[in-house]
Amino acid sequence: MTVMPRPVPPDALAAIRAIVGPKGWIDDPGDMAPFLRDERGLFVGKAPAVVRPAATAEVAEIVRICAANGIAIVPQGGNTGLCGGSVPFATGEAIVLALGRMNRVRAVDPINYTITVEAGVILAAVQAEADRHDRLFPLSLGAEGSCQIGGNLSTNAGGIQVLRYGNARDLVLGLEVVLPDGQVWDGLRGLRKDNTGYDLKQLFVGGEGTLGIVTAAVLKLFPKPREIRTAFVALPGHRQALELFAMARAASGDQLTAFELIPRIGLDISMRHVPGVTDPLAAPYPHYVLLEMSSSVPDGDIAATMDKLLDAAMAQGLVLDGTIAASAQQAAQLWRIREGIVEAQKHEGGSIKHDIAVPVSRVADFLDEATRRVEERLPGIRVVAFGHIGDGNIHFNLSQPPGADTKAYLARWEEFNEIVHRVVQGMNGSISAEHGVGRLKRDLLPQFKSAVEIELMRKVKRALDPLGIMNPGKVL
Ligand code: FAD
Ligand code: ZN
């Protein structure tokens, strides 16, 4: 899209300010700073103002003013996104529209198993509200204490329970969206079945704010798990992880909720940098899997299934050792190892990151091939490949060789992206499994999608946002 927004006219800004009032208006540089910088500090932008509307009608009025004046809008949720989609460019021609004040739960319908929330509700608050009604909202990720449901939907967030419940896309039944011309689309239907034409809501899920502003959503709820079994097991290699995965699914049906790969280096750095993380096993092993099963029927079946599975896997040599959490506290301790890897990497110097997906059956091939190629390019590079192996989604992160110059190492970001993404492409995989495109991967897309697919995306963008004011320069 080449339509460039004009510099922001002061009278339009004044009109927007009048809509949101002083509570919804930030233009002090110090107060704006946290809204203009992304989570990892890779992108820092500028804006004439950050506006924080409190209701859908206010969002619609603001968008109408922006459309009339060609003002670009960057929607922002919790600003935890990892691709720079939620912050403006340094040219300062866009306003940031942050949804944090739109944080009401509008309705809970326990019989329909749905919850209707505004976009600014924090993910953990959605989970807690569902819990109060004896229901489960299963979306769960490391940033759940600060990311917002509008951001989760706009990035089609994944996380640790996709295996059983799907990603954000699978958890939404209806949306309310302010379109780029300021019209409000009320698609807040809580229907399980509705084949009345195109599934428009799915355009906005994963749309990263480029097609409109999500202001509310009807989300699916599930029966609450009454029995959870969490195990941490050691394996000789990642190929055995795939075999164990197949066995675990066959043994447990849809009761397998999480299946996460942790390499030894992940446990090592987690222990080194995250207080309270210890090795749950007596000896070191090359690979681990953190797996979880759950059931809404508290009859002890889950415990028996897990025991039987791990006994069989040990007899076959797939699993070398393991521990099963005896309490919720011990389970949380095991999860700390997994969550700790993300934090720990920050203390190990530069980390070049990839969020890739391949068919589950190809994960071991991917890990072998990509590891070989990056180690060949830079001896001493440390592959920290972990994550949602049960979804075929690996966070293939590369920590710098110990003692190397961090700046010089990070300058090779694109070089290593290229190596890893080629392996992904050879396996018909994705270069962004769950984090999105934003600015970080925008220019890579044309290499990995056909011209037909890119043009289809552009057509959708042009049809919905002909003025190009919605988060311009992101995704496309
Ligand atoms: P933001 O960062 O504010 O925005 C993300 C994008 O959505 C931007 O393009 C923005 O313009 C757009 N947007 C936001 N709100 C709206 C709206 N209401 N309408 C239209 N567009 C909007 N992600 C995963 O998928 N899985 C993980 O396991 C995971 N773990 C993480 C762990 C940590 C520690 C951190 C920091 C991040 C992690 N993430 C993960 C990434 C991030 O948390 C998710 O992408 C999350 O969904 C972003 O939500 P947010 O509210 O912060 O959105
Ligand atoms: Zn992840």
Query: 3-class SS at 378?
Result: coil
Atom of ligand 1 nearest to the CA of 153: 47
Sequence spans of domains, the chain: 105-223, 227-345, 351-426
432 CB less than 6 Å from ligand 1?
A: no
Residue 88 has pLDDT above 70, yes or no: yes
400 CB less than 6 Å from ligand 1?
A: no
| CA–centroid distance, residue 85 to ligand 1 (Å) | 9
39 CB less than 6 Å from ligand 1?
A: yes
Between 254 and 127, the higher pLDDT residue: 127
Residue 418 has pLDDT above 50, yes or no: yes
| CA–centroid distance, residue 79 to ligand 1 (Å) | 6
Residue 1 has pLDDT above 80, yes or no: no
Domain 227-345 classification at class level: alpha beta
Nearest to 429 by CA among 371, 359, 363, 373: 359
Is there a shared CATH topology between the 227-345 domain and the 351-426 domain?
Answer: yes
| CA–centroid distance, residue 80 to ligand 1 (Å) | 5
Asked whether the beta carbons of 283 and 321 are under 8 A apart, the reply is: yes
Residue 179 has pLDDT above 90, yes or no: yes
Q: Per-residue pLDDT averaged across 419-430, rounded? A: 97
Domain at 351-426: CATH code: 3.30.70.2740
| CA–centroid distance, residue 155 to ligand 1 (Å) | 6
Cross-strand pairs, 432: 355
Q: What is the dihedral of CA 359, 361, 367, 368, to 10 degrees?
A: -130
9-20 pLDDT per residue, tens: 999 999 999 999
| CA–centroid distance, residue 141 to ligand 2 (Å) | 7
Write down the pLDDT at residue 6: 64
Enter the tokens of residue 351: 């980390």
Asked whether the beta carbons of 303 and 255 are under 8 A apart, the reply is: no
Write down the pLDDT at residue 306: 97
Whole-number mean pLDDT of the chain?
A: 96
Residue 149 has pLDDT above 90, yes or no: yes
Write down the pLDDT at residue 2: 46
Atom of ligand 1 nearest to the CA of 99: 18
| Confidence (pTM) | 0.96
Fold of 105-223: 3.30.465
347-373 pLDDT per residue, tens: 999 999 999 999 999 999 999 999 999
Name the residue at shortest CA distance from atom 35 of ligand 1. Answer: 143
213 CB less than 6 Å from ligand 1?
A: yes
Write down the pLDDT at residue 451: 96
Sheet with 94-98, strands from edge to edge, namely 25-26, 50-51, 94-98, 72-76
